[in-house]
Amino acid sequence: MQSVKASLRAVERAVHWVTVRVIPLRLMRHLLYLWMIRKPGNFRRPSTFNEKANWRIFHDRRDRIAAACDKMRMKEMARAAYPGPQLRIPETYWFGTDLRDAPDLALLPPWVLKPNHSSGHVLFGPDPQTDMAALLKQTQGWGNKGPLALGEWGYSEAQPGLLLEERIPTPDGAAPTDYKFFVFDGRVELIQVNRDRFSSQTATFLDTDWNRLDVCWRIMPVADEPRPPELETMLEIASTLGSGWDFIRIDLYAVDGDVWFGEYTPYPGSGLLRYRPMAFDVEQGKHWQLPTPEQVRLGQP
């Protein structure tokens, strides 16, 4: 069964990227939506969450969207919005375009390597088994199959480059649990918890009282998530970081009482989130009041 699912995912990815490469952007977005959501999307008068995310991709050109797609800028934005010590922001060890200009990677504390202008790519170190030649090869294509190729405008405004930053410490060295807060006009309405990102990943949806919702994302399993002791602090931080946004997803981590900043996410799932049941997409969309054309034109919140 797992091999069948893996094969189906491989076919889906292949169709996805062929579509992206050869078809004009607007038509491509409509076709991807039809492929992923299994019905046409109304991007002119959107009502569901996914439709509104696509509206943002097509129409919203405010600078805050661009800042939320640039990892260096989003750190500055988070510090300005929440300067208190309760929010820890990973230290930047190096930023540049040529990894060979970075400090000796073997001598740095545990680090994470990411593209500044894309998402979905990450490497961890130091790793004695990985040399510079291997890292250069692994990072060469970063950005080619990312959000920019999907038409997510904000990433076109981000400064191209590589970012080396502090790795969030965990007791066992594993990737920390990812808490994703869906914030609408400063209100947290939904929490998505992703656990074991690099192994048997689960994605669980909960309300702000930590009641699990009867929904799942595509074929990803859910888990019986323990309520984190840092939840109230994370809710307060997410609400503050999301203040003034019609919608933004705030990604945080909680480790041994500390809350760490992950990122701002303006285009969750590129507006192609296939839920079960899809009625959840409709309910999410009700929380999102899109900005007026005048607000977008003037760059207003």
Pick the residue with more confidence: 246 or 174? 246
* Contact assessment for residue 96 and residue 164, using Cβ atoms and an 8 Å cutoff: no
The reply to whether 289 falls in a domain is: no
The reply to whether 151 falls in a domain is: yes
The reply to whether 35 falls in a domain is: no
What average pLDDT does the chain have?
Answer: 91
DSSP tag of 148: G
Pick the residue with more confidence: 301 or 164? 164
Q: What is the token pair recorded at 219? A: 């074929």
Range of the domain at 120: 91-167
Q: pLDDT tens across 147-204, in order?
A: 877 889 999 999 999 999 999 999 888 889 999 999 999 999 999 999 987 778 899 9
The reply to whether 301 falls in a domain is: no
- Grade residue 8 by pLDDT with cuts at 50, 70 and 90: low
Q: Residue 169: what pLDDT?
A: 92
- Grade residue 75 by pLDDT with cuts at 50, 70 and 90: very high
The reply to whether 272 falls in a domain is: no
- Examine the pLDDT at 283 and tell me if it is beyond 70: yes
174: which residues sit within 8 A by CB, 6+ positions away?
196
The reply to whether 153 falls in a domain is: yes
Q: Residue 162: what pLDDT?
A: 95
The reply to whether 7 falls in a domain is: no
DSSP tag of 51: H
The reply to whether 250 falls in a domain is: no
Q: How many domains does the chain have?
A: 1
Q: pLDDT tens across 213-228, in order?
A: 999 988 789 999 999 9
265: which residues sit within 8 A by CB, 6+ positions away?
68, 119, 180, 248, 249, 250, 251
pTM summary value: 0.90
Q: What is the token pair recorded at 192? A: 């998505």
3-state secondary structure of 298: helix
Determine the average pLDDT of the residues in 268-289: 96
